Structure 1
Amino acid sequence: MKMRNAKFAIGDVVRHRIFPFRGVVFDVDPEFANTEEWWNAIPAEIRPNKDQPFYHLFAENDESEYVAYVSEQNLVADDSGQPLRHPQVRALMVPADRGYQWKVEAIHLH
């Protein structure tokens, strides 16, 4: 598999291309690193390739906050400037020039 550089970095605010949620990146896998069960649960017609970066997000939609795992092809930058309400973002990160950054005390926990 060909390694690609990640388009997004930790702290970037992104939104899903198809589904109505957004989030902040808190970790990046250079390629798919989840279970086959998770992979197979994605409908085949929208299942992304494994050989691209996948992002761990503190995500939220209109109803809830959660952690999401999303392929790069399904993310776009969210430049709305709207803060995230996700409790883990507030607990572990602070606003920065380009989204968020880890709080100093959170770096020691990560």
Structure 2
Amino acid sequence: MTDRMAKFQIGQVVKHRLYPFRGVIFDVDPEFSNSDEWWESIPENVRPSKDQPFYHLLAENEQSHYVAYVSEQNLLDDADGGPVDHPQINEIFMEKDGQAYRVRPELAN
């Protein structure tokens, strides 16, 4: 498979296109890099293609905070949706800088 450029960046706030959650991107895989079991757990009618970037999110919904793994095709920019209130935000990011979070200097490459 050919890698393509990721549409979203680390620190960017995004929301899921179909499901009611949002989050901050903290890592990007150029293509699917999770287990087959995880892949097969997604209902076939909404299962995304594996040959696209997948994003690791510090995610939240109205009930909880968690880590999500989401395909690029299922994400939308949510910079105007306000800050994300995930308890692990401060472990990876500093305050929001404009529309995105800044990675802590000690973690930046």
Correspondence for 1:84: 84
State yes or no: 1:97 paired with 2:92.
no
Q: CA deviation at 1:97?
A: 2.5
In structure 1, the residue corresponding to 2:80 is in which secondary structure?
coil
TM-score normalised by the chain length of structure 2: 0.92
Distance 2:42 2:91 in 1: 31
Instruction: Give runs of ≥4 in structure 1 deviating > 2 Å.
Output: none
TM-score normalised by the chain length of structure 1: 0.91
- Superposition map of 1:1-110 within 5 A: 1-94=1-94, 95-105=96-106, 107=107
In structure 1, the residue corresponding to 2:38 is in which secondary structure?
helix
Q: CA deviation at 1:99?
A: 1.1
**What RMSD, in angstroms, separates the aligned Cα atoms of the two structures?**
1.5
Which sections of structure 1, spanning at least 5 residues, go unmatched? Answer: none
Q: CA deviation at 1:62?
A: 0.5
Amino acid at match of 2:10: I
Number of aligned residue pairs: 108
Amino acid at match of 2:29: D
Amino acid at match of 2:22: R
In structure 1, the residue corresponding to 2:33 is in which secondary structure?
coil
